[in-house]
């Protein structure tokens, strides 16, 4: 068990190095473009936003270098640890295939429930987008939706455990998950805060880059974890 956890943490840390590269190449240009717009905007209305955190504050070099790396590494290590725990719980209980298949299922279901579905309802905003008065409500709604998504995934997986056919298992599980989450997405508030003047191109580039960053983090954590378990962990 401790060995699996070490593999998970190592995998997450290594993955965050790769993710740092993708975030620099794909994400930072979008962030910089949005910050340039924000700065231009705050010069135009200096009186409205005297203390906006992005216009002043820390240097961009610190944020885009060590700050970005530390944030990604911390999330990567946490993801790797949770992957290792989920692997230990699922193997031989919910999933009975090879290491690769087990890790593949956990990662695919986790990525869908933790990243893709919450992103569809509450996509990330670049600097200059988002009303600072609703940050509390938005953050709360986002984490509530995320928690519900994980709980529903857990419920759906346990509910189909006894179903004999693999095909029906997937269909019933997917139906439970999709039903609950669609209902929640309708009930929870939506926030329409993108200024019509904000360029859609920058917004799309930014949101696509958040998906790329998360996909890189999850996929490389899974691949490195599989490799470590296959290479050094035949008996764990």
| By CB under 8 A, residue 126 contacts other proteins | yes
Q: How far is the CB of 31 from other proteins (least distance, A)?
A: 6
Q: How far is the CB of 22 from other proteins (least distance, A)?
A: 9
Which of 1/187 has CB closer to other proteins?
Answer: 1
| By CB under 8 A, residue 25 contacts other proteins | no
Stretch that binds other proteins, among 60-68, 159-167, 172-180, 197-205 (CB under 8 A): 60-68
Identify residues 173-232 at the interface with other proteins (CB under 8 A): 206-207, 209-211, 213-214, 217, 230
Binding other proteins by CB under 8 A: which of 10, 123, 163, 172?
123
CB of 141 closer than 8 Å to CB of 122: yes
Site string for other proteins, 144-183 (x = CB under 8 A): ----------------------------------------
CB atoms within 10 A of CB 163: 14
Binding other proteins by CB under 8 A: which of 96, 144, 174, 190?
96
| By CB under 8 A, residue 99 contacts other proteins | yes
Q: How far is the CB of 175 from other proteins (least distance, A)?
A: 26
| R_g over Cα of the chain | 20
Query: How many residues lie near other proteins (CB under 8 A)?
Result: 69
Beta bridge partners, 95, equal: 91
| By CB under 8 A, residue 54 contacts other proteins | yes
Angstrom distances, CA of residue 187 to CA of 109, 141, 182, 214, 226: 23, 11, 9, 26, 39
Show the tokens assigned to 40. 């231009």
Residues in contact with other proteins by the rule CB under 8 A: 1-2, 5, 23, 27-28, 31, 53-54, 57-58, 62-64, 66-72, 74-75, 77-79, 81-82, 84-85, 88-89, 91-93, 95-99, 102, 115, 119, 122-127, 130, 132, 135-136, 138-140, 142-143, 206-207, 209-211, 213-214, 217, 230, 234-235
């Amino acid at each position: 068990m401790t060995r699996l956890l070490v593999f998970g943490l190592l995998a997450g840390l290594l993955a965050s190095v790769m993710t740092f590269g993708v975030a620099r190449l794909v994400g930072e240009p979008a962030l910089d473009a949005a910050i340039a717009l924000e700065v231009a905007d705050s010069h135009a209305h200096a009186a409205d936003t005297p203390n906006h955190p992005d216009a002043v504050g820390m240097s961009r070099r610190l944020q885009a270098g060590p700050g970005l790396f530390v944030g990604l590494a911390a999330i990567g290590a946490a993801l790797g640890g949770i992957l290792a725990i989920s692997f230990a719980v699922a193997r031989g209980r919910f999933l009975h295939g090879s290491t690769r298949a087990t890790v593949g299922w956990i990662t695919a279901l986790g990525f869908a429930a933790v990243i893709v579905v919450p992103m569809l309802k509450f996509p990330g905003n670049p600097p200059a987008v988002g009303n600072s008065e609703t940050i509390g409500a938005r953050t709360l709604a986002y984490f509530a939706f995320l928690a519900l998504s994980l709980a529903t995934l857990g419920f759906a997986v346990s509910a189909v455990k006894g179903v004999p056919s693999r095909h029906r298992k997937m269909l019933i599980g997917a139906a439970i998950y999709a039903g609950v989450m669609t209902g929640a997405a309708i009930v929870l508030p939506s926030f329409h805060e993108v200024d019509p003047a904000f360029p859609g191109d920058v917004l799309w580039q930014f949101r696509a880059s958040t998906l790329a960053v998360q996909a890189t983090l999850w996929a490389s954590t899974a691949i490195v974890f599989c490799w470590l378990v296959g290479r050094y962990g035949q008996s764990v």
